[in-house]
Chains A and B, each alone.
Chain A
Amino acid sequence: MMKDLNKRSWAIACTLCLCLLLIAFTSTAFAKKNRLSVGFTTEEALENLQMGEAMQYTEMGAVFWPLVYDQLWIMGPAPDYEPLPMIVERWETDDYQTWRFYLVKNAKFHDGKPVTAKDVAFSLWYLPKSNPAWDYPDNDIEDKKTMKIIDDYTLEFTLAAKWPGKYPPASWMPVLPEHIWKPHKRKLGKFVNKKCIGSGPYKLKKFKGGEYIWMVKNKKYWGDVPAVDEVVFKSYGSQDAISMAMKKGQIEFIGYNGAPSVAYEDYKKAENIDVAISPGIALVWFSFNLHKENGIQDKLVRQAIMYGIDRERLIQMVYLGYAKPADSFIYPEMDTYNPDLPKYNYDPEKAEQMLEQAGYVDTDGDGFRTDKKTGQKMSFEFLVPSAWPDEVKLAKVVKEQLKDIGVEIKLKVVDLDTYYQFIYTPTDDKFDLSVSSEEPGPNGSWIWEFVRGYNNGGAGWNQAYYDNPEFDKTLDAMNAETDPEKQKALTFKLQEIVSEDLPYALLLRADMIDPYRTDTFEGHVATMGGFSSWINSWTYFKVRPKK
């Protein structure tokens, strides 16, 4: 009996020891730093840390800087997309032109210096003055004299024009430490910015241009400290390499643009990987060049082209079904979306009738109509950048579809920089129509500047060389309207004009396909554009290691 008891005691003691050892090892394992690795392609990688266009427009840059720099406010997560205070407690305005922001009082830069209203004023004034500029319609401050530093934590400024609506001004602007940037204020974009000192929830640890960015959490962050110890943005030579890296557990998800639709099934089958589908943030449309003297100038031709395109087929063939038709610059889930816009459903017979009616007929029996404006074959140059493989495919399908209604399309595939130069100078007549794409985001009122008339300050974004005084008047009224309902009605009207006149023809919105590992982290935040985009840093703030 005693022997049995001794044996039992030994067994219990051994089990306890084992448990203790296990707990010790487990706690050691938990004590190990957790690292969130995110994959980008080398084309998307950031080459330098200067606060220039690379930081704003490369995918890695656009996701990186909001993690190390605070902003006055940020876009809240889906579905409401409310403007949420970031480094401010609140803001107020009486007339939507003069704004007052109240900063939090315990925010510090990564070097320990406090964040004050002076830093905010410095950033708001000098970033738009740099060349190339960090400049958006909602940060157009009228005069430096109108910037008043009320106290260390209160800043007031007056915009050149009213900024009514749901969102306050000064969106997507980093708060730079004045004590570091002041000597470079005339040429902000040139400062090498090796340390990237901000006040955001992450701090830069190491940067290798074109290769990786290594961040660690800012333990002294004034707000909610992230649950992730380290974030690493890694670049890979191709989507194939990204896919292999994810399956091998070397990255958790893709940093921007998600995975191509052809990869969906492959990811879905992989172990410990799931795929989230979110509405896309990018809208794809045609820009018609109304400057060039040919049939495109004729509204009926533009409408006929739209009736001649089978969007459902495009979506199936190019995006394998992972896209939705679009008809407005405003996303359907936003309350300013006008649901009663003309849909231009595929109807080739109607398209042909419209062309006949407008006097575009096939005079020589070659299968193509004659452009009555030029007297030549109805043939249009279709500009598309080689860097957008899906849109190149789309253009090829469109070419075949429009052939059926007697319109010849000649594809003009150019590199991305040449493409941007061509579409933003329609007066050079380098294209007749082009595929275009932008990411307006929920706070997308700036997108209407693409339509503002050339004779009303619209040169710049206006790819179509569109000039409609009625549109401009409505746009100005919408921008100035402080009553939400009236502003909504004006936004409806803007959408109607564009849909009717078709300087731009909205086509579709590709879904965001986000594969992600399910065995390591949880709490990913999906918004339009997926887990990680220029409007969504929430995943990096909220994601946590899986227990």
Chain B
Amino acid sequence: MGLKGFILRKVVAACLTIIAIVCVNFVIFRMAPGDPVRMMFRDPRVSAEKLEEMKQTFGLDKPLSGQFVAYVKGLTRGDLGQSFSHRRPVLEVIAAKIPATLLLVVTALVFAILLGVALGALSGWKSGTKLDTFILTASLTMYSIPTFALGIILLLVFAYHIAIFPLGGMATPASLFEGAELVWDVLWHLCLPALSIVIWYIGEYVLLTRSAMIDVMGQEYITTAYSKGLKKFRILKNHALRNALLPVVTITGVNLGFAVAGVIEAETVFSWPGVGRLVYDAVSHRDYPLLQGVFLLFAFSVVLANLVIDLIYGYIDPRIKVSG
């Protein structure tokens, strides 16, 4: 199969996945107990007329099939509907939160990948040594600490006892910072939540890279490289690590996809105003349109990230194109 065919097949598969997700997305939230219209009213003395008016406002007066058609029609126009709880267009609500989440997760992922891959490669390279044991133990420990607990510990140590970082939020509340001052303030607030994610992801990347490295190190082409008298670092960089990176690329794609959905625990502990908190609130308020919007975005980013990874795979390992 040629490159065009390969790409076409992947794109069609991605589109089908998105269509399936749109359908599941629509049905799944409507299966949850509770009437979303009733839930819009904290005061239960609501009249039938007001309930009906609210139903009409959000298109819930139509039968499910009608709601689905309206939903799909809206999607084609880029309209994700009105959020029940925010009373604003879903797209607007999500768009306001995405930058914060992207900033947090992308920053954390970049650091986690760089450090995790480097430490994992070193650990695999020095497999069986004390250094390997140390890195492996540390990674396992970091990977197994729940992010919520880790967040609280970081807060206690760095925001309370040492007091060099703030206790939460994305910027200093009630400040008039602008320009460079604001950037600096946001970066200062970013440190702890990003660190909590970095620590967790580092463990994942170290373990993954290490096991791939150990696998690669036993391959014949590494022995050949040694026998050719190549320098150790060159073998590590060009021969071993490059081949060991395939699973890392896969997991990075998936993680990037999930990144858009936010990191609920970190965003909650550090009161970071991102998509993660939005998901939590939307679930508790049974905000169908918002949930549909967030989950669609989430699914879309995962599918897109996987598509990109599939294409990168083809570039990294041409065998995949042929066999795939």
Contact = CB atoms under 8 A, between A and B. Distances in A.
Interface of A: 35, 37, 42, 47-48, 50, 52-54, 56-57, 131-133, 135, 189-190, 205-206, 208, 210-212, 214, 230, 232, 234-238, 240-241, 244-245, 247-248, 250, 387, 414-418, 420-422, 424-425, 449, 460-461
Interface in B160-205: 160, 163, 167-170, 173-174
Contacts of A237: 151, 168, 268-271
Contact of B33 (A206, A232, A418): A418
A449 B273 CA distance: 39
Interface of B: 33-35, 38-46, 50, 53-54, 85-88, 151-152, 155-156, 159-160, 163, 167-170, 173-174, 268-271, 273, 277, 281, 283-286
A132 B170 contact: no
Nearest to B166: A250
B87 A232 contact: no
B273 A417 contact: no
Contacts of B277: 42, 210
A238 B163 CA distance: 18
Nearest to A205: B174
Nearest to B156: A244
B34 A417 contact: yes
B44 A248 contact: no
Contact of A53 (B43, B174, B271): B43
Contact of B273 (A210, A234, A247, A248): A210
Given A210-B277, A248-B167, 14 more contacts: A37-B173, A42-B277, A47-B86, A47-B281, A131-B54, A205-B174, A208-B273, A210-B273, A214-B173, A241-B168, A247-B160, A417-B39, A420-B39, A424-B38
A205 B38 CA distance: 34
Contacts of A189: 87
A53 B54 CA distance: 14
Given A241-B271, A420-B39, A425-B38, A214 B174 contact: yes
Nearest to A460: B45
A160 to B, nearest CB: 14
A206 B155 contact: no
Contacts of B38: 421, 424-425
30 contacts: A47-B86, A53-B40, A53-B43, A131-B50, A131-B53, A131-B54, A132-B50, A190-B87, A211-B173, A211-B273, A234-B174, A235-B271, A237-B151, A237-B269, A237-B270, A237-B271, A240-B152, A240-B155, A240-B156, A241-B155, A241-B168, A244-B155, A244-B156, A416-B284, A417-B284, A418-B33, A418-B39, A425-B38, A460-B46, A461-B45
B163 to A, nearest CB: 7
Nearest to A206: B174
Contacts of B151: 237
A222 B268 CA distance: 41
A547 to B, nearest CB: 24
A546 to B, nearest CB: 21
| Residue in B43, B174, B273 whose Cβ sees the most chain A Cβ within 10 Å | B174
Given A237-B270, A238-B269, A244-B167, A132 B155 contact: no
Nearest to A192: B88
Nearest to B169: A211
A248 B160 CA distance: 7
Given A132-B42, A133-B43, A415 B284 contact: yes
A420 B35 CA distance: 11
A208 to B, nearest CB: 7
Contacts of A241: 155, 167-168, 269, 271
A39 B80 CA distance: 34
A37 B40 CA distance: 31
Contacts of B50: 131-133
Contact of B159 (A48, A52, A212, A244): A244
A132 B41 contact: yes
Contacts of A214: 173-174
Contacts of A131: 50, 53-54
Contacts of B40: 53, 132
A244 B87 contact: no
Contacts of A57: 42
Contacts of B35: 421
Contacts of A416: 284
A266 B34 CA distance: 40
Nearest to B49: A131
B87 A52 contact: yes
Nearest to A48: B86
A48 B173 CA distance: 16
Contacts of A56: 42
A235 B281 CA distance: 15
